[in-house]
Structure 1
């Protein structure tokens, strides 16, 4: 099995005291580092943004599919 390592970059961010406390507490509850929790949160946010950007295309595809279903239903009634 091939061992693939992910390239990573280190960044520094400034957090409010409230966010710092929340991340610190949540990381302790989950048994992960604050940095790890923040990386997971950013991955989740990225996925949400990608999906949100695809919603208009998905809605359009659903509308086309529903139209095709209606046309097929009308053809079978004739």
Structure 2
């Protein structure tokens, strides 16, 4: 199964997208904070909001392509 990362600072949007894509057999990881996922997930596909606090969607895309660090993570 492909891993889908959904990042949006609006919780309801992440919930709706999770329901849609789980029905299509994706493994879904969702979070409201882009910063929380950087050391945790190497997704096959990313759906992200562009305007978010702390890190926008472009910054997230650049950071995901960077090598992972050894920091432990907590997703919410």
**Pairwise same-fold verdict (TM > 0.5):** no
Report the TM range for the smaller structure's normalisation. under 0.3
Q: Which one has the bigger helix percentage?
A: 1
* Larger RCO, structures 1/2 (Cα 8 Å, 6+ apart): 2
Name the larger-Rg structure. 1
Q: Which one has the bigger strand percentage?
A: 2
TM-score normalized by the length of structure 2: 0.27
TM-score normalized by the length of structure 1: 0.26
